[in-house]
Amino acid sequence: MSAASASSLLILQPGLKLNHFLKPLLVSLSQPSSSSSLLVNPARRFFVTKPPLLPAISRKHSSIVSAQSPSDNDRGSGGRSGALAPPPLVEDLQKIDVNPPKGTRDFPPEEMRLRNWLFHNFREVSRLFGFEEVDFPVLESEALFVRKAGEEIRDQLYCFEDRGNRRVALRPELTPSLARLVIQKGKSLSLPLKWFAVGQCWRYERMTRGRRREHYQWNMDIIGVPEVTAEAELISSIITFFKRIGITASDVGFKVSSRKVLQEVLMRYSVPEELFGKVCIIIDKIEKIPVDDIKKELKSAGVSAEAIEQLMQVLSIKSLTELEEILGGTGNAVADLKQLFSLADKFGYSEWIQFDASIVRGLAYYTGIVFEGFDREGKLRAICGGGRYDRLLSTFGGDDIPACGFGFGDAVIVELLKEKGLLPELSLQVENIVCALDPDLQGAAATVATILRGKGQSVDLVLENKPLKWVFKRAARINANRLILVGISEWQKGMVGVKILSSGEQHEIKLEQL
Ligand code: HAM
């Protein structure tokens, strides 16, 4: 086969340089016997190459469209490419580390009860606000999370190449997946969308109190509403959640600002728009690194000394009146913030929120109002955060739709509840414990359990022949309301013995009356 005909068989992906493909291809074609590095899929007229060639190619994908091109899908259709070696077989018996990987958690029953309680409250609040639940895969295309602005989240990505040579990542957040789904559904969606999700996210973080390598996030997002009413509604929902779990405005507050504040300053100094995301990311580090370093970074990003001075001045502002004096009345920043504070008053949560120009947030895609929930004692990291991201969809090749939302993690809030002594007591509770008093009556006990479960009652069925002392102990551990004893004489009469465990009251009742 000539090089020309070989190249005519190639289906090139967007952004892929021909010589990337042709060089190893020609080497392989000239050595047919060593063609193990080149697989031809005749049905699709497509060449599949093995690494190290493909990782370089797939990293070139700059949009979701290219990352999901048909050729990419085809690559995986032949099953495992063998690109990655399987894990080595462990021949000998090996003692394993029984701890979960660093930064991750097991959820034994008591932890799971707490998690379920938290998620139940997340879901209940979302329902109260009329939101619909959605979910996305934990594993996504890496391209979805790779933004140029230098965000910390990018360096924290758990990413790898799968066996089909695709660059994939464990999601560090839910927003890009939501944007992807909105683009995918396109015009079939009727706006506004009010969607919520509760999902696990992965970030290779430095571990501090409330920051882990895996955490769950509750997100609520409103897609299709350009007005600040959307942000006001979202903050209202978080406050509703706080109140439900016993947190008050003296425990927690929200710092609110708008990225339009920075935008207006940058425009005044003719800083190019493309720099906006990058500047925000640099400024967001203001509490973590010395101000001089921030200034240096801004300078090397191309921001003039005058603009840097004005930015620094604006960031220290804590009152809207002062902000208005500096920015003047031309832009939308002050107007948006004023409207938000006025709505907060109508919703009845003014005491929870305050303006703070230093709130910028560490994600590049925010374009308008941004907010963060913080503990007033200042002991913990941000409890939650969100904002408006009206231009995220176009960065993925879709049409922009105004959007805003927030993420609320499961870790900091638990720390706060512990601090405040507000962790709920969540013990296991099973309504009935059913026990056969004779091994021959195990089947009868099973019948009793089935009748009760059919009526919607929970039953812990004692599955072995155990002494009554053991059964009582277990009943206490599971907080059972009733102990149901299946004994021969009662069973022969179609009855069982019932003991109300709280009062000690005891009687025999017919099966139909259970
Ligand atoms: P974020 O500020 O990166 O925003 O994360 C939101 C919240 O997730 C944080 O305030 C915190 O509660 C929790 N969180 C983040 N990282 C960790 C971690 N390593 N360990 C424990 N908890 C963590 C976002 O993720 C945006 N996507 C939120 C959003 C939704 N904006 C619009 N819609």
Residues 378-387 have pLDDT tens digits of 999 999 999 9
217 lines ligand 1 (CB under 6 A): yes
Residues above pLDDT 70, as percent of the chain = 83
Please check whether residue 14 lies inside any domain of the structure. no
Instruction: Verify that 489 and 344 share a domain, yes or no.
Output: no
* pLDDT exceeds cutoff 60 at 54: no
Q: For residue 353, count other CB atoms closer than 10 A to its CB.
A: 22
Query: What is the bridge-based pairing of β-strands 132-133 and 193-202?
Result: parallel
Using CA atoms, how far residue 52 sits from 58, 88, 142, 248, 493, in Å, is: 11, 21, 18, 56, 77
pLDDT tens sequence across 287-334? 889 999 999 999 999 999 999 999 999 999 989 999 999 998 778 999
Please check whether residue 104 lies inside any domain of the structure. no
* pLDDT exceeds cutoff 60 at 26: no
Instruction: Verify that 284 and 365 share a domain, yes or no.
Output: yes
Please check whether residue 236 lies inside any domain of the structure. yes
Instruction: Report how far residue 406's alpha carbon sits from residue 428's, in angstroms, rounded to the nearest whole number.
Output: 32
Calculate how far, in angstroms, residue 289's C-alpha sits from the geometric centre of ligand 1: 21
Instruction: Report how far residue 144's alpha carbon sits from residue 181's, in angstroms, rounded to the nearest whole number.
Output: 12
* 374 CB-contact burial (10 Å; exposed 0-12 / middle 13-18 / buried 19+): buried
Which phi and psi angles does 194 have, rounded to 5°? -125, 100
Query: What is the bridge-based pairing of β-strands 46-49 and 132-133?
Result: unpaired
Instruction: Verify that 311 and 455 share a domain, yes or no.
Output: no
Please check whether residue 189 lies inside any domain of the structure. yes
Instruction: Verify that 343 and 462 share a domain, yes or no.
Output: no
243 lines ligand 1 (CB under 6 A): no
Calculate how far, in angstroms, residue 198's C-alpha sits from the geometric centre of ligand 1: 12
Instruction: Verify that 409 and 460 share a domain, yes or no.
Output: no
371 lines ligand 1 (CB under 6 A): no
Name all contacts of 59-62 with Cβ < 8 Å and 24+ positions apart: 59/167, 60/13, 60/15, 60/16, 61/13, 61/14, 61/15, 61/141, 61/143, 61/167, 62/14, 62/15, 62/143
219 lines ligand 1 (CB under 6 A): yes
Calculate how far, in angstroms, residue 317's C-alpha sits from the geometric centre of ligand 1: 25
37, HSE (Cβ side, Cα atoms, 13 Å): 15
* Protein residue whose Cα sits closest to atom 30 of ligand 1: 406
Residue 496's CATH number: 3.40.50.800
212 lines ligand 1 (CB under 6 A): yes
Which phi and psi angles does 87 have, rounded to 5°? -60, 145
Task: Examine the fold and report which residue of 376, 396, 420 is the final residue of a domain before the chain moves on.
Answer: 420
365 lines ligand 1 (CB under 6 A): no
Please check whether residue 254 lies inside any domain of the structure. yes
Calculate how far, in angstroms, residue 201's C-alpha sits from the geometric centre of ligand 1: 9
Q: Residue 378: CB partners within 8 Å, gap ≥ 6?
A: none
Q: State the first-to-last Cα distance of the chain, in angstroms, to the nearest integer.
A: 81
Please check whether residue 64 lies inside any domain of the structure. no
- The DSSP annotation for 154-221 comes to HHT-EEEE-TTS-EEEE-S-SHHHHHHHHHHHGGGSPSSEEEEEEEEEE--PPPBTTB-SEEEEEEEE
409 lines ligand 1 (CB under 6 A): yes
Positions at the binding site for L-histidine? 173-175, 203, 217, 221, 361, 365-366
Name all contacts of 122-128 with Cβ < 8 Å and 24+ positions apart: 122/196, 122/198, 122/218, 122/241, 122/408, 123/196, 123/198, 124/244, 125/237, 125/240, 125/241, 125/244, 126/196, 126/218, 126/220, 126/237, 128/237, 128/240
* Protein residue whose Cα sits closest to atom 9 of ligand 1: 384
pLDDT band at 21 (very low <50, low <70, confident <90, very high): very low
458 in Cβ contact with 509 (< 8 Å): no
Calculate how far, in angstroms, residue 218's C-alpha sits from the geometric centre of ligand 1: 9
Residue 255's CATH number: 3.30.930.10
Name all contacts of 245-250 with Cβ < 8 Å and 24+ positions apart: 245/121, 245/413, 245/417, 245/422, 245/424, 246/417, 246/420, 246/422, 247/416, 247/417, 247/420, 247/422, 249/349, 249/351, 249/352, 250/376
407 lines ligand 1 (CB under 6 A): yes
Instruction: Verify that 179 and 315 share a domain, yes or no.
Output: yes
211 lines ligand 1 (CB under 6 A): yes
pLDDT at residue 237, as a whole number: 98
The phi-psi region of residue 231 (left if phi > 0; otherwise alpha if psi is between -120 and 50; otherwise beta) is alpha
Residues above pLDDT 90, as percent of the chain = 76
Torsion of CA 124, 135, 111, 381, to 10 degrees: -90
Strands (E), 313-375: 353-355, 369-375
What atom of ligand 1 comes closest to residue 413's alpha carbon? Answer: 12
Instruction: Verify that 358 and 279 share a domain, yes or no.
Output: yes
Number of domains in the chain: 2
Instruction: Verify that 302 and 342 share a domain, yes or no.
Output: yes
Higher pLDDT, 10 or 490: 490
311 in Cβ contact with 327 (< 8 Å): no
Instruction: Report how far residue 5's alpha carbon sits from residue 353's, in angstroms, rounded to the nearest whole number.
Output: 67
- With the most atoms of ligand 1 within 8 angstroms of its CB, the residue from 153, 171, 173 to mutate is 173
Instruction: Verify that 443 and 333 share a domain, yes or no.
Output: no
Instruction: Verify that 443 and 500 share a domain, yes or no.
Output: yes
415 lines ligand 1 (CB under 6 A): no
255 lines ligand 1 (CB under 6 A): no
* DSSP element (H, E) containing 432: strand 432-436
pLDDT tens sequence across 461-477? 999 999 999 999 999 99
* pLDDT exceeds cutoff 60 at 28: no
What atom of ligand 1 comes closest to residue 210's alpha carbon? Answer: 21
Please check whether residue 344 lies inside any domain of the structure. yes
Instruction: Verify that 493 and 386 share a domain, yes or no.
Output: no
Task: Examine the fold and report which residue of 394, 420, 446 is the final residue of a domain before the chain moves on.
Answer: 420
Helical axes 333-347 vs 320-327, angle rounded to 10°: 160
* 367 CB-contact burial (10 Å; exposed 0-12 / middle 13-18 / buried 19+): buried
Single pTM value for the model:
0.84
SS3 398: coil
* pLDDT exceeds cutoff 90 at 30: no
* Protein residue whose Cα sits closest to atom 25 of ligand 1: 173
482 lines ligand 1 (CB under 6 A): no
- With the most atoms of ligand 1 within 8 angstroms of its CB, the residue from 152, 158, 217, 360 to mutate is 217
Please check whether residue 306 lies inside any domain of the structure. yes
Instruction: Verify that 384 and 457 share a domain, yes or no.
Output: no
Task: Examine the fold and report which residue of 420, 451, 475 is the final residue of a domain before the chain moves on.
Answer: 420
pLDDT tens sequence across 201-234? 999 999 888 899 999 999 999 999 999 999 999 9
Say which residue the tokens 């502002």 belong to: 317
* Protein residue whose Cα sits closest to atom 17 of ligand 1: 211
Domain that holds residue 468: 430-510
Mean pLDDT score, 345-355? 98
* Protein residue whose Cα sits closest to atom 28 of ligand 1: 407
* pLDDT exceeds cutoff 70 at 47: no
Instruction: Report how far residue 233's alpha carbon sits from residue 389's, in angstroms, rounded to the nearest whole number.
Output: 16
